[in-house]
Structure 1
Amino acid sequence: MADVDGRPNVLFVLTDQERYDYSAPDGPPVETETIDRLSSEGMRFERAVTPISICTSARASLLTGLFPHGHGMLNNSHEADAIRANLPTELPTFSELLAESGYELTYTGKWHVGDDQTPEDFGFSYLGGSDKHHDDIDEAFREYREERGTPLGETELEDEIYTRGGEESGTFVAAKTPVDVEDTRAYFLAERTIDAIEAHAEGNREEPFFHRADFYGPHHPYVVPEPYASMYDPAAIERPESYAETYDGKPQVHENFLHYRGVADFDWETWAEAIAKYRGFVTMIDDQLERILDVLEDHGLDEETAVVHAADHGDFVGGHRQFNKGPLMYDDTYRVPLQVRWPGVVEPGSVCEDPVHLHDLAATFLEMGDVAAPDSFDARSLVPLLEGEDGTDRPDAVFAQYHGDEFGLYTQRMVRTERYKYVYNGPDIDELYDLETDPAELQNLIDHPGYADVRGAMRERLVDWMDRTDDPNRKWVPDVLRDRERN
């Protein structure tokens, strides 16, 4: 179904640092009834991967349909060592092209693509909800909290967890907040999204809308009110298989990161407390999504609106005993949830097992809007898959990269098939995992003689991808890999 001009409305909900497995059928016991509803009424993608597990870089890829080395936003724009502070304006974006084609574009919540840019520089009308740490581009949420009598920064948190043993030198990980759910940023962003939907329903419905709701969560700090703060019992949380990580045979930076992130001394009881809050955060956002979908239905827009849910990247939350993200290309942070409900197009309850990239959504949104994707895009539209095609003409692998976070530059490239994952680490040993026999990615098989042919084939695939996408490292990495094969 579509709006009056024949094209669907699009509601795009992007979460920040949400793990894939928390809404997967065989994942941990986390309540995600609304995301599950999208899966049952639409399509769930089992092998969606972010091009990079860094906020700015992944979000810039979503806009431009490019891998990070193509748009140049290689690390977070707000950090002192940012390679670029802003996305180059000459790059075409899906949002500007949709706006030019007649879509009404609105945006709430997190931006984090450029320090001196806002969604309004890329075709959107911005409706507020930014976070001071990342964007600080409006006062709306702070004013909202003051009007409710719960000013930001004036509440006493409980059960606080910090890295490095305390608030003075550590990073804030998790806590319980005494405020009501209605005081949370997640609730506020849902309210602003509902406002946008209602404005369209009561206004000019001859042209379709595209609304993007970017939630600040479940990214740390995992701060949640009741009932979510105590929804998950830490004592009942099972250790992930990857918690048995020893770092034996892994790049040294993996173990170094335990100390860099300040969690080397976290015991399981501490992690279980943090995981419980993270899971509560996931469920709280899921409940806000339910409110949004109910309003779509109340206004008769559900049948003419494609709803897409994804995350910019995942989160370790104790996986491999790590916190946050970094130069570790495990599925914990690179595999992302992706669900699409598109009435009249997507078969309810369908599952896509084809490998796809998060930034394929840029080309997908354009095809939904009957707009041609620019030749510059690395992205491939998911519309054929959504329409039920088998995907035999698509690559059977996905690729990703990493360039460093706030600790400095660090070169990584990844190729992942259904069974194998190969990671090129510029300054250290490479990684090879057999995901069929070792889904937790605990055993690095890079030097295993029984996997020599697999290693060589994966390296060749990586070199081919680097050539096809004009990766600047393509001029010297192939020689490095050939030397590693000989040695």
Structure 2
Amino acid sequence: MSKFMSSLLFLLITSPIFAKNEKPNIIWIFSDDHTQKSIGAYGGILKSVNPTPNLDRLAEEGMLFERSYVANSICAPSRATLLTGKHSHINGKVDNRGGFNHDQQQFQKILQKNGYQTAMIGKIHLNGKMQGFDYWEVLPGQGSYYNPDFITEEGTKSYTGYVADIVTEKSLDWLENKRDKEKPFMLMVHHKGTHRTWMGAPRHVGLFDDVTLPEPKNLFDDYQGRGTAAHKQDMSLRITMNKASDLKVRNEEEKKAMTENFKKKKGKPHGEHGAYYRMNSEQRKIWDAAYDPRNADFYAQNIEKGTDEWVRWSYQRYVKDYLRTAKSIDDCVGEVMNYLEKSGLEKNTIVIYGSDQGFYLGEHGWFDKRFMYEESFSTPLIAKWPGKTKPGSRNSDLVQNIDYAETFLDMAGIRAPEGMQGESLVLLLKGETPTNWRKHLYYHYYEYPGGSHSVRRHEGVSGKRFKLIRFYGIDVPNGEEWEFFDLKNDPDEMQSQYNNPEYAAEVTKLKKELQNLKTQYKVVEVPQKPRINKNK
């Protein structure tokens, strides 16, 4: 073969035409409780504080999904859905209690069998040994913001530092040093933030100190126009939010008492309330320097819990803490994107960002999630697929977390097994909407009674404009209550129109659609466990 022909053959083989057949790498950055309204690219009242410049950059370089939702707005079930591509009643993880069947089919197992290297680093909130990953280090349960432990194949390991930074460092180290660079990869970078109790990194504890955040217009919602569930929840800033653990207001006497309490327990402090006591002296010095003056100011104001003044003060404290944890996640997104660019991986690596559900940042006077109302039903989804997604594009189709597993498989050119219940988003990412794309979504929340925040069980169906919710079971009057919302005329869901005769035809349509979806998804009854009377 002549030198000319050899050179021509080399150019052809290395050209983009041939490169198209190369399997794409996938990086799935995931967070906890990160609401759309706290991401600049999604807009909203917090956009002015610019909390997420790197996520905004990801949206500018990729596609933002405007109507991204979950099937069950609570941590562990959402993550089970992510792995299995199935609704909670099928994958068996209906609430945060109990275990998860790791032996069932999961998308990463399929990727692994088809030549992908798979890695999982960070929070998964599913008890038991991970399967289908070549490499994994996961937080136990909720994990700790400071100096966290990680569960690995070899046992538990402890690290010094801030959790988002450690997850990021481990992820980049795996990309650079631990993977087989001859294989495509799927890397899951899963963060603890923005989960309660919202403890920011040392470098971020002073963020937003000079800002007064705008308040949601329904911060003082009285829940008129909605049913029992909204009235009887236990997730309000006014009543539920804890002064010490949630708002970090502790005087020296309270700190001393808490320290002594942890000393009586075996091992290191753990869980959400133990993070402060896991800090080393340097970390605690930075923390106290930020919070002690704020707390002194709080005590000087003599604010009484349960008052409107308390609601306003706790809103500012809570949401600023929340945004500080979000800032560390945003830092991670920037570091990952910068690494891909410098390492030459950018052109063939898909970067996707999402969260296990949305969250209330004072809307309806609440924090937490669980309800099928928009703030917690919706969740962020932003994806950059070089050469496939149009930079700066937005998609308004109805997508749900049951779709993720099938999407990852489709990206890798793998047919999803029939048992998965979602739809691949690949065509949507390419700017095409199939003519038969879904018009409605199904939702089901199960954790009542016995769970946190006293949110009654409910299921529902939602389209782009109308939403129907059925609250049912224990502690629901007559065993069943319905709510219906016109999201065009009432986007904040302040007034149910279920009994309004003008909407009777739409209510009937959605009841029929609810039954259709239950048939499609093979919904079965999951028995409620009666509340245990501890006084007996």
Q: Deviations over 1:136-166 (max 9, x none)?
A: 6259996321xxxxxxxxxxxxxxxxxxxxx
Asked whether the 8 Å contact 2:121–2:188 carries over to 1, the reply is yes
Change (3 A) 1:350 1:193: same
In structure 1, distance between residues paired with 2:203 and 2:390: 35
Deviation at 1:450, TM superposition (A): 1.3
> Where does 1:377-388 land on structure 2 (aligned, <5 Å)?
377-388=420-431
Q: Could you say which residue in structure 1 is the equivalent of 2:276?
A: none
Q: Could you say which residue in structure 2 is the equivalent of 1:412?
A: 458
Taking only the aligned residue pairs, the percentage that are identical comes to: 26
Query: What TM-score, normalized by structure 2, do the two folds share?
Result: 0.74
> Where does 1:62-461 land on structure 2 (aligned, <5 Å)?
62-76=82-96, 82=97, 84-87=98-101, 89=103, 91-113=104-126, 115=127, 117-119=128-130, 121-130=131-140, 133=143, 137-138=151-152, 143-145=158-160, 183-199=161-177, 204-233=180-209, 236-258=212-234, 262-263=240-241, 265=306, 266-326=310-370, 328-404=371-447, 407-408=450-451, 410-426=456-472, 427=476, 428-461=480-513
Change (3 A) 1:141 1:242: farther
Asked whether the 8 Å contact 2:123–2:143 carries over to 1, the reply is no
Matched to 2:232, the amino acid is N
Q: Could you say which residue in structure 1 is the equivalent of 2:284?
A: none
Q: Deviations over 1:160-180 (max 9, x none)?
A: xxxxxxxxxxxxxxxxxxxxx
In structure 2, distance between residues paired with 1:132 and 1:252: 30
Matched to 1:446, the amino acid is Y
Q: Deviations over 1:210-242 (max 9, x none)?
A: 100110011111111454333224862121123
Q: Deviations over 1:185-221 (max 9, x none)?
A: 0011010111111126xx6432101100110011111
In structure 2, distance between residues paired with 1:204 and 1:282: 31
In structure 2, distance between residues paired with 1:259 and 1:354: 31
- Structure 1 unmatched ranges of 5 or more: 77-81, 146-182, 475-487
Q: Could you say which residue in structure 2 is the equivalent of 1:158?
A: none
Deviation at 1:25, TM superposition (A): 3.7
Matched to 2:376, the amino acid is T
Asked whether the 8 Å contact 1:234–1:269 carries over to 2, the reply is no
Change (3 A) 1:290 1:248: same
Q: Which moved more, 1:129-138 or 1:457-466?
A: 129-138
Question: Rg: which structure is higher?
Answer: 2
Q: Secondary structure at the match of 1:460?
A: helix
Asked whether the 8 Å contact 1:95–1:105 carries over to 2, the reply is yes
Is structure 2 residue 38 aligned with structure 1 residue 22? yes
Q: Secondary structure at the match of 2:234?
A: helix
In structure 2, distance between residues paired with 1:195 and 1:128: 15
Q: Could you say which residue in structure 2 is the equivalent of 1:176?
A: none
Change (3 A) 1:405 1:279: farther
Computed over aligned residues only, the root mean square deviation of the Cα atoms, in angstroms, reads: 2.6
Asked whether the 8 Å contact 1:354–1:391 carries over to 2, the reply is no
Deviation at 1:6, TM superposition (A): 1.4
Asked whether the 8 Å contact 2:27–2:352 carries over to 1, the reply is yes
Asked whether the 8 Å contact 1:3–1:208 carries over to 2, the reply is no
Asked whether the 8 Å contact 1:129–1:189 carries over to 2, the reply is no
In structure 2, distance between residues paired with 1:15 and 1:122: 21
Deviation at 1:249, TM superposition (A): 3.2
Change (3 A) 1:361 1:288: same
Query: What TM-score, normalized by structure 1, do the two folds share?
Result: 0.81
Q: Could you say which residue in structure 2 is the equivalent of 1:462?
A: 514
Q: Deviations over 1:32-62 (max 9, x none)?
A: 1111111111111000001111111111111
Deviation at 1:128, TM superposition (A): 4.6
Q: Could you say which residue in structure 2 is the equivalent of 1:159?
A: none
Q: Secondary structure at the match of 2:436?
A: coil
Q: Could you say which residue in structure 2 is the equivalent of 1:155?
A: none
Change (3 A) 1:207 1:400: same
Q: Deviations over 1:51-78 (max 9, x none)?
A: 11111111111111101111111001xx
Change (3 A) 1:259 1:75: closer
Change (3 A) 1:268 1:337: same
Q: Which moved more, 1:308-317 or 1:259-268?
A: 259-268
In structure 2, distance between residues paired with 1:236 and 1:324: 22
In structure 2, distance between residues paired with 1:357 and 1:242: 27
Change (3 A) 1:371 1:237: same
Deviation at 1:371, TM superposition (A): 1.1
Asked whether the 8 Å contact 1:4–1:208 carries over to 2, the reply is no
Q: Secondary structure at the match of 2:93?
A: coil
Deviation at 1:88, TM superposition (A): 5.5
Asked whether the 8 Å contact 2:59–2:391 carries over to 1, the reply is yes
Matched to 1:46, the amino acid is E
Q: Secondary structure at the match of 2:121?
A: strand
Asked whether the 8 Å contact 1:4–1:207 carries over to 2, the reply is no
Deviation at 1:277, TM superposition (A): 1.1
Asked whether the 8 Å contact 1:129–1:140 carries over to 2, the reply is no
Select which of 66, 71, 75 maps to 1:51. 71
Asked whether the 8 Å contact 1:105–1:211 carries over to 2, the reply is yes
Select which of 36, 43, 51 maps to 2:56. 36
Q: Deviations over 1:395-433 (max 9, x none)?
A: 122221100157259431121111111111113421111
Change (3 A) 1:273 1:142: farther
Q: Which moved more, 1:424-433 or 1:67-76?
A: 424-433
Q: Secondary structure at the match of 1:105?
A: strand
Deviation at 1:259, TM superposition (A): 6.8
Q: Which moved more, 1:420-429 or 1:261-270?
A: 261-270
Asked whether the 8 Å contact 2:150–2:156 carries over to 1, the reply is no
Change (3 A) 1:351 1:140: farther
In structure 1, distance between residues paired with 2:331 and 2:449: 33
